[in-house]
């Protein structure tokens, strides 16, 4: 017996849940888009509106009005063009004064062109009616499409090479200039695709772009390809990409000797710390009145330029390296360094120095051989005299 009671209790509980569930309005999470609005500032008796078109099978009527003392009547009847039977009838009576009364009614499985008949009595201030369609619901062949537009914003609009910026495209429907959500926007710089994003509830599609391009003015284009409801559109604006700052360091060279070869080295990097290969570095020497160019060399893959040179004057000089800049990298010079050039006592020509060393060595060698021969001969003479 207890099992039967338990079964009946469970059955009654489930039935109650079903009743409660059926009583809850079934409004699915979807994308509602306003396609028409009607606004009035006075009572209307059997006012017939202009037509509106719902491409999608699911749509709804939303309303808001301000009831007046003594009770207000607000009736809406929706008709499909060419059909005598209404697709929706709304009867809303408010007997008590409240600031605002709102409501909504859903129409399922019926798209096409419609109009409303409005009966409003004893309405305070104004009332408004909005027609919204579910653009996620099925859609037949589009009866009409809405014009769209894109506004494009870049922040910052002036960015250095290899730095990032935010690109925001806002998609608007030209009908009431309301945002269009859940639509794909593609972005290009020139003809190069750089990304895409989906518009949010405010119509904004945002991407982050890293300016891996040459310095200069670049066009940024946002393209919307359209849909069953909306016509395509695009817009273009400019992005300014600035050159990177550069830093040049010169190695302190060893003291040089007049007429002897010496190697000068300087390393060039950008403001991000990356070496800059394949650019020309000029080396200059200050002789007390002007800077004289002593040569130049291109940077290797590590950003270092090496110059082999021979200095003909003696003394202490200021030395610097100079990078004249390119469209992508700014001009810069190194911190100056002192370079001492010592005297070559043999002369400016290093070959004479080597000849002199060889000659001295030969003289010493022959002198030693001659001395040994002389001592040996003298020793032989003494031995002969003794015998």
Say yes or no: 377 and 309 in one domain.
no
Say yes or no: 203 and 121 in one domain.
no
Average pLDDT in the 357-363 region?
69
Report how far Cα 61 is from the mean position of its chain's Cα atoms.
41
Cβ-contact 131, 34 below 8 angstroms: yes
Reported as a pLDDT band with limits 50, 70 and 90, residue 26 is very low
Say yes or no: 173 and 232 in one domain.
yes
Cβ-contact 322, 284 below 8 angstroms: yes
Say yes or no: 200 and 293 in one domain.
no
Say yes or no: 238 and 251 in one domain.
no
pLDDT of residue 172: 94
The token pair at 24 is 């809850």
pLDDT of residue 23: 42
Q: Cα angle at 124 between 118 and 128, to 5 degrees? A: 45
DSSP-derived secondary structure for 40-65: ESS-EEEEEPPPEEE-BS-EEEEEEE
Average pLDDT in the 58-66 region?
94
Residue 364 is given by DSSP the state H
DSSP H/E element including 134? strand 123-134
The whole-angstrom separation of Cα 246 and Cα 324 is 11
In-domain check, residue 100 = yes
Whether the model clears a pTM of 0.75, i.e. scores above it, the answer is no
Report the mean per-residue pLDDT for the chain: 83
Cβ-contact 258, 341 below 8 angstroms: yes
- Final residue in a domain of this structure, among 73, 101, 134: 134
In-domain check, residue 349 = no
In-domain check, residue 231 = yes
Task: Write the CATH number for 37.
Answer: 2.60.120.40
Task: Write the CATH number for 207.
Answer: 2.60.40.10
Say yes or no: 40 and 87 in one domain.
yes
- Does residue 67 have a pLDDT over 50? yes
The whole-angstrom separation of Cα 176 and Cα 121 is 28
pLDDT of residue 142: 61
pLDDT in tens, 172-224: 988 767 899 999 999 999 999 999 999 998 999 999 999 999 999 999 999 99
Say yes or no: 212 and 292 in one domain.
no
The token pair at 268 is 């060039």
Higher pLDDT, 127 or 287: 127
Residue 16 is given by DSSP the state H
Contacts of 169 (CB under 8 A, 6+ apart): 150, 151, 152, 185, 187, 197, 199, 204, 205, 206, 222, 224, 235
pLDDT of residue 25: 43
In-domain check, residue 350 = no
In-domain check, residue 143 = no
Higher pLDDT, 14 or 101: 101
Rg (CA), the chain: 46
pLDDT of residue 21: 43
Say yes or no: 328 and 275 in one domain.
yes
Q: Determine the structural domain holding residue 89 and report its residue range.
A: 29-134
- Final residue in a domain of this structure, among 103, 134, 165: 134
Average pLDDT in the 51-76 region?
90
Identity of the highest mean pLDDT range in 44-58, 62-76, 135-149, 267-281: 267-281
Q: Where are the alpha helices (DSSP H) in the chain?
A: 2-23, 350-386
Say yes or no: 186 and 233 in one domain.
yes
pLDDT of residue 68: 85
Number of domains in the chain: 4
The three-class DSSP label of residue 159 is: strand
In-domain check, residue 351 = no
Say yes or no: 238 and 256 in one domain.
no
- Does residue 22 have a pLDDT over 90? no
Average pLDDT in the 246-260 region?
83
Say yes or no: 235 and 257 in one domain.
no
In-domain check, residue 348 = no
Percent of the chain scored above 70 by pLDDT? 81
Burial 65-80 (b: 16+ CB within 10 A, else e): bbbeeeebbbebbbbb
Say yes or no: 102 and 163 in one domain.
no
Higher pLDDT, 258 or 282: 282
pLDDT in tens, 320-354: 999 999 999 999 988 777 777 777 655 445 555 55
Q: Parallel, antiparallel, or unpaired for β 178-179 and 52-54? A: unpaired
In-domain check, residue 53 = yes
- Final residue in a domain of this structure, among 215, 242, 269: 242
């Amino acid at each position: 017996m207890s099992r039967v009671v338990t079964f009946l209790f469970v059955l009654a509980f489930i039935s109650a849940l079903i009743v409660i569930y059926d009583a809850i309005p079934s409004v699915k999470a979807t994308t509602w888009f306003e396609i028409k609005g009607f606004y009035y500032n006075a009572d209307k008796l059997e006012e017939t509106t202009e037509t509106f078109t719902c491409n999608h099978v699911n749509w709804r009527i939303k309303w808001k009005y301000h009831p007046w003392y003594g009770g207000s009547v607000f009736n809406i009847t929706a008709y499909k063009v060419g059909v005598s039977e209404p697709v929706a009838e709304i009867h809303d009576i408010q007997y008590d004064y409240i600031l605002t009364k709102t409501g909504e009614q859903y129409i399922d499985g019926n798209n096409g062109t419609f109009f409303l008949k409005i009966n409003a009595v004893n309405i305070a201030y104004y009332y408004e009616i909005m027609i919204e369609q579910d653009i996620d619901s099925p859609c037949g062949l589009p009866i009409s499409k809405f014009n769209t537009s894109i506004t494009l914003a870049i922040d910052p609009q002036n960015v250095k090479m290899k730095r990032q910026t935010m690109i925001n495209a806002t998609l608007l429907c030209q009908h009431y200039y309301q945002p269009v959500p859940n639509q794909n926007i593609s972005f290009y710089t020139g003809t190069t695709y750089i990304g895409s994003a989906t518009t949010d509830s405010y119509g904004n599609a945002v991407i982050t772009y890293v300016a891996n391009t040459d310095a200069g003015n670049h066009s940024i284009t946002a393209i919307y390809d359209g849909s069953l409801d909306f016509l395509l559109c695009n817009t273009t604006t400019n992005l300014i990409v600035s050159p990177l700052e550069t830093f040049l360091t010169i190695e302190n060279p060893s003291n040089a000797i007049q007429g002897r070869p010496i190697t000068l080295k300087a390393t060039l990097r950008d403001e991000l710390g990356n070496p800059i290969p394949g650019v020309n570095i000029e080396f200059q020497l200050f002789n007390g009145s002007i800077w004289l160019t002593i040569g130049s060399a291109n940077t290797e893959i590590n950003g270092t330029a090496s110059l082999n040179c021979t200095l003909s004057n003696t003394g202490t000089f200021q030395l610097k390296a100079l990078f004249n800049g390119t469209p992508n990298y700014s001009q810069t010079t190194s911190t100056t360094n002192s370079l001492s050039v010592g005297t070559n006592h043999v002369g400016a020509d290093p070959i004479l120095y080597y000849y002199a060393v060889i000659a001295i060595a030969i003289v010493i060698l022959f002198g030693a051989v001659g001395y040994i021969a002389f001592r040996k001969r003298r020793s032989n003479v003494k031995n002969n005299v003794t015998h």
